[in-house]
Copies of this chain bind each other. A is one copy, B any other.
Amino acid sequence: MLEKVDLTKKLDKESYKEQIEGLQTHLGALQRECKELGIPIMIVFEGLPAAGKGFQMGKLIQALDPRGFEVHNIGYETKDEARHPFLWRFWKRTPAKGMVAIYDGSWYHKVSREYFDGYVKGKKVEEAYEELRLFEKELTVDGTLIVKFFLYIDKEEQRRRMNKLLSKESTRFRVNKNDKKRHIKFDRYRNICEKMLQKTDTEYAPWEVIPAMDKRYTTVKIYKTVIAYMEQKIDAVKRASQTQIYQGKKSDYVVPVLNVLGEADLTLAYTREDYKKYLKVLQKKIEKLHGELYHRRIPLVIGFEGWDAGGKGGAIKRLTEHMDPRGYVVHPTASPNDIEKAHHYLWRFWNDMPKDGHVTIFDRTWYGRVMVERIEGYCSDKEWQRAYDEINHMENSLVNNGAIVLKFWMQIDKEEQERRFNERMNNPEKQYKITDEDWRNREKWNQYEEAVNEMIVKTSKKNAPWIIVEGNNKYYARIKVLETVIAAIEKRLS
């Protein structure tokens, strides 16, 4: 892609002055329109060293309302970031609806600078391209506009600019050791970038390679490109909202019903005596293994789903009772708040993912998308249908980062649920646990059963399995959860 770039492009001062003010006003107006329409926008600045990324970003943001954008500087990972999945720091920085996020450097750091430095090689590079493509795909399909710039200059111009910066004491620090290396091995770094551009130039997030020899030309070109992308996106959003009126809401997607829940043997039970005995042994064991995980820096992600009153809370309590509270955290998932609602539905879960050596337990999870959101119509059919892939991809990212991922479904039958609901109603200390909503959800038992069966079939993987916990007997359920977690950790440690 770089070969085709015409590096002779220039713009004289007069033409620049004539155009720039109009472009700024236009862009400002489009930003306001995107804000109203709730379109999140990501603008990526990549390019060769000294190509003028900083300068051009500075020019661009002059036209933007500061209430509506943020700039993210992406360099090498911090220690903390390095202990999380690769995409974690980028998911955290995705913009809310109506906001513009500008990236000075980006997720492409890994397949450009880190590749050049030799930190990333071989199969890992190919994996990274794939992760990047999926990351952008999931965001764009969710409504985000992504504009990616690559600023290109030739070696001679790079040398000239670097020398200028190096010649003054006040700007010398701007050229670091790594920039110099990438200058000396100009062709090698250029080829790495070329490969990156080719591998990640997609229909949903294409690259815009900009000849950046002449600052004025570059500025105007960037303005015009951003404006064109925004106009196209605004147009698409408006058209989509019109079409929706004419289309029916329900798709004719056919759910393959496989009754995995029905196969659970709910008669399984332990006596109180056995339970107490087993519990003591297993909790001692998990305490020790938790220390080992920390020591070996292995992250552990556990999700709990299940029927209301299915025993999630009790199981989590027994699981964590003897764990060091400094090494685990329980995240209960409630309905999303305003800020969470303004982001991709996976955003808040990405934010909470554990770093190496830590344990994160989710009390309800990202699977809400294909259960409550599906059933209550909080998202469209298309949205929950594509969620299986998105969820599998996220869990795969965690696994790639070395995490153990386990998902428990706490299974009880309808009679047992009624018994527990009534018990809660009649016990003043437990009344706060039961709400009208619980009774309402109960009426949709069959719909949930269908959704859960589909979910389990589509998202249970070798490295991120669903475990159906036979939960009519609480003792049995709690022991099974502990045993499963222990077995998974021991398998990894061995």
Contact = CB atoms under 8 A, between A and B. Distances in A.
A426 interface: no
Given A78-B79, A288-B170, A66 B295 contact: no
B325 A54 contact: yes
Interface stretch (A332-340, A441-449, A451-459): A332-340
A363 interface: yes
Q: How many copies does the complex hold?
A: 2
Nearest to A329: B71
A55 B327 CA distance: 12
Determine which residue in A104, A174, A291, A329 has the highest number of CB atoms from chain B within 10 A of its CB, and name it: A291
Contacts of A62: 317, 321
A57 B104 contact: no
A154 interface: no
Contacts of A326: 54, 57, 71, 73, 104
Contacts of A324: 54-55, 58
The 3 residue pairs across chains A and B that have the minimum distance between CB atoms: A66-B330, A67-B332, A58-B325
A75 to B, nearest CB: 10
Given A66-B316, A295-B173, A323 B58 contact: yes
A25 interface: yes
Interface string A306-318: 0000000000110
A203 to B, nearest CB: 30
Determine which residue in A65, A170, A173, A338 has the highest number of CB atoms from chain B within 10 A of its CB, and name it: A170
Contacts of A58: 320-325
Interface in A285-307: 288, 291-292, 294-295
Interface of A: 25, 29, 32, 54-55, 57-58, 61-62, 65-67, 70-71, 73, 78-80, 102, 104, 170-171, 173-174, 288, 291-292, 294-295, 316-317, 320-326, 329-332, 334, 337-339, 363, 429, 432
15 contacts: A25-B429, A29-B429, A57-B326, A62-B321, A66-B332, A67-B334, A70-B329, A71-B326, A78-B78, A170-B291, A170-B295, A174-B291, A337-B338, A338-B338, A339-B339
Given A54-B325, A326-B71, A66 B170 contact: no
Nearest to A337: B338
